[in-house]
Amino acid sequence: MAQKSVFPEEFGYYFSEGSFERIYNQTVQGFKLQMGIDTFVEAAREFNHDSGDFNLKHSNQLEPGIKRYQWVNTEETRMITVAYSSNGEIIGIQFDNYEKFTTDRGTSINTYRLPFEGEWFVLWGGNDAFLNYHYPYAHQRYAYDFIRKAGGTAFEGDVEMLEAYHAFGSEVVAPRSGEVVKVVNDVEDNLPGYPNMTVPEGNHIIISHGYGEYSLLAHLRKNSITVAEGDTVKTGARIAQCGNSGASDTPHLHFHVMDSRDPYSSRSIRIQFAELREPRQGDTVKGRSWQ
């Protein structure tokens, strides 16, 4: 007799009741090759111990054919992220702590516009580790990664060519007026799939906006930056192009606001946006054209 499927909306119920073998049997072959059933069942049983019931908190679809679900236990101390394919197979499962921070209650003093023109897609962003992989790290907790899509995909043509990605070469603008305090413009753009971890920000700009707030725009295209350290920029001024430099595997724009000019010793600040609610992963947002 064939095993009945664990539908996405039922995953939390079956996990909470301990149906770990049933869940494992629905995973794709690649997952099974990485983790045997005994290892998975043992890890799931340990994670589930004294967790209480898991309830669905978020779901979204970042790319065609794959939908992600976040399940959080009643006490909001643990979370499970599950990815399903369009044909109902489980592509991946991740167990983690569900963290929230007191810094979520505050926002930047300044208001900021989106650092680009036209429509972009929020690949990572929000005050939750499911929505934003930056979130557990204080120095980039409220960071955003933006890409461009057309027809539901981030590229058209050969995925190994940077020019195939809709974000590559797109204009980047100043999110607020301020003084440019750091510019790096000579890092090579990576081939897709080969991030450069030795220079994580790649080509980047840091702007001081007053009130102890600094914005960071990273992974910019080599030699595309049109401002220099010491320059004053106006809100919305075109200052660079999106690239694929630094710790970036495909072209995207990284943006966050921090409380000092050092990206590693600073603390990320939750951004108060000037003209829209706070974006989060899965949103399509539109930046105004430069005047």
Task: Give the C-alpha separation, 248 to 200, whole Å.
Answer: 8
Residue type, 21: E
- Is residue 136, in this structure, part of any structural domain at all? yes
User: Are 147 and 224 in the same domain?
Assistant: yes
Strand (E) or helix (H) holding 58 = strand 54-63
Both structure tokens of 215? 């914005």
pLDDT band at 290 (very low <50, low <70, confident <90, very high): low
Residue finishing a domain among 97, 128, 150: 97
Does the pLDDT of residue 179 top 60, yes or no?
Answer: yes
Q: What are the pLDDT digits (tens) for 224-261? A: 999 999 999 999 999 999 999 999 999 999 999 999 99
Domain boundary pick from 42, 65, 97: 97
Same domain, 82 and 129: no
Is the predicted pLDDT of residue 291 greater than 80, yes or no? Answer: no
What is the pLDDT at residue 276? 83
Last residue of a domain, one of 97, 129, 164: 97
Q: What distance in Å separates the CA atoms of residue 251 and residue 215, rounded to the nearest whole number?
A: 19
Confidence band of 1 (pLDDT split at 50, 70, 90): very low
Could you tell me the pLDDT band of residue 4, with boundaries at 50, 70 and 90?
Answer: confident
Section 212-232 average pLDDT: 98
Structural domain range at position 243: 102-287
Instruction: Answer yes or no: is 1 within a domain.
Output: no
132 in the same domain as 67: no
Q: Do 250 and 123 lie in a common domain?
A: yes
pLDDT of residue 51: 96
91/106 same-domain check: no
What CATH number is associated with residue 278?
2.70.70.10
DSSP-derived letter for residue 222 is: T
3 state SS for 9-50: HHHHHHHHCCCHHHHHCCECHHHHHHCCHHHHHHHHHHHHCC
Confidence category of residue 171, pLDDT binned at 50, 70, 90: very high
Looking at residue 63, its pLDDT comes to 84
Q: Are residues 93 and 122 in the same domain?
A: no
2 lies in some domain = no
**Encoded tokens for 89:** 């197979």
Residue 45 maps to a domain: yes
Distance CA 126, CA 205 (A): 22
Does any domain span residue 265?
A: yes
Are 93 and 124 in a shared domain? no
**One domain, residues 28 and 140:** no
**Predicted local confidence at residue 12, as pLDDT:** 97
**pLDDT tens figures, 257-281:** 999 999 999 999 999 999 889 999 9
Q: Domain check: are 113 and 88 in the same one?
A: no
| CATH number reported for the structural domain that contains residue 58 in this entry | 3.10.450
- What's the number of domains the chain is made of? 2
User: How far, CA to CA in Å, does 191 sit from each of 97, 195, 250?
Assistant: 34, 8, 8
Torsion sign (Cα): 169, 171, 175, 176: positive
Residue 42 in domain: yes
Token digits for 157?
A: 């043509």
